[in-house]
Homo-oligomer: A and B are copies of this chain.
Amino acid sequence: MKNISKEDYLSVIFKNQNSNGEIKSNIIAGKLSVSNAAVTDMLKKLSKDGYIIYERYKGIKLTVDGENYARNMVRRHRIWEVFLNQIVGMPWEKVHEEANKLEHSSSDDLINRLETMLDYPEYDPHGDPIPTKEGKIPKLKKHRPLSELKEGESGKVIRVNDFDEKFLGYISELGIKLQEKISVKQKRAFDKSMEVVVKGKLWNISNKLAQNVFIEVK
């Protein structure tokens, strides 16, 4: 294939499909910041290429080929993230954007070499699982958004959303990182913000922020 746009569409479909493997064209347009018309256009092409099953006004679903292609794109992306973070020393808030470009520009051979160098990591720097060459996806421990914890509860961070550099930079300042323990001291009903303790320090965080940090369920 070798086509940046198509690869991006497939990744988005893969990452946002519901439990039945379906997705609305709506969502795709939003995630890719393109018009709905552009999505319809591309869906026709992906369908013709055999990557999705598509009927107008009906659902969108990846074929086996499409699923494989998309899973491999996610693999590329996350292996690059780990590599940039661990080997190159790039902070976790910058690797997502950089990986978004590199994922389209590297041979499978290179990706496999990076993976070997990294000793087959299972998770990326934000806690997302890395599909193996064979297509297996490591299990994520059960988790829920920090925003859903009640007063008095606490738990370990095991995943954070990685698409907003500012967000990641900010939570880093608060000391929030993977495996770090967070305790909820107080919740304010009026704006859903909460007081949390990280490394002995007390912070007030917004609901929006808390929705993007995920805590392991024990």
Neighbouring B residues of A110 by C-beta, 8 Å: 84, 88, 90, 98
Contact size class for A?
10 to 19
Give the number of copies in the complex: 2
A 61-88 to B, binary, CB cutoff 8 A, 1 in contact else 0: 0000000000000000000000010011
In the complex, what distance in Å separates the CA atom of A117 from the CA atom of B89?
Answer: 9
- Interface of chain A, main secondary structure: helix
Is there an interface contact between B106 and A90, defined as CB atoms closer than 8 Å?
no
| A208 within 8 Å of B (CB atoms) | no
Is there an interface contact between A87 and B87, defined as CB atoms closer than 8 Å?
yes
In the complex, what distance in Å separates the CA atom of A88 from the CA atom of B104?
Answer: 18
Residues of A106-126 whose CB lies within 8 A of B: 106-107, 109-110, 113-114, 117
Is there an interface contact between B104 and A105, defined as CB atoms closer than 8 Å?
yes
Is there an interface contact between A107 and B117, defined as CB atoms closer than 8 Å?
no
| A101 within 8 Å of B (CB atoms) | yes
In the complex, what distance in Å separates the CA atom of A117 from the CA atom of B106?
Answer: 20
| A42 within 8 Å of B (CB atoms) | no
| A102 within 8 Å of B (CB atoms) | yes
Neighbouring B residues of A98 by C-beta, 8 Å: 106-107, 110
Is there an interface contact between A88 and B105, defined as CB atoms closer than 8 Å?
no
Q: In the assembled complex, how far is the CB of residue A87 from the closest CB belonging to chain B, in whole angstroms?
A: 7
Pick 22 A–B contacts, CB within 8 A, sort by A.
A84-B110, A87-B87, A88-B110, A88-B113, A88-B114, A88-B117, A89-B113, A89-B117, A90-B109, A90-B110, A90-B113, A94-B109, A98-B106, A98-B107, A98-B110, A101-B105, A101-B106, A102-B102, A102-B105, A102-B106, A104-B105, A105-B105
Q: Which 5 residue pairs across A and B have the least CB separation, nearest first?
A: A101-B105, A105-B105, A88-B113, A102-B105, A98-B110
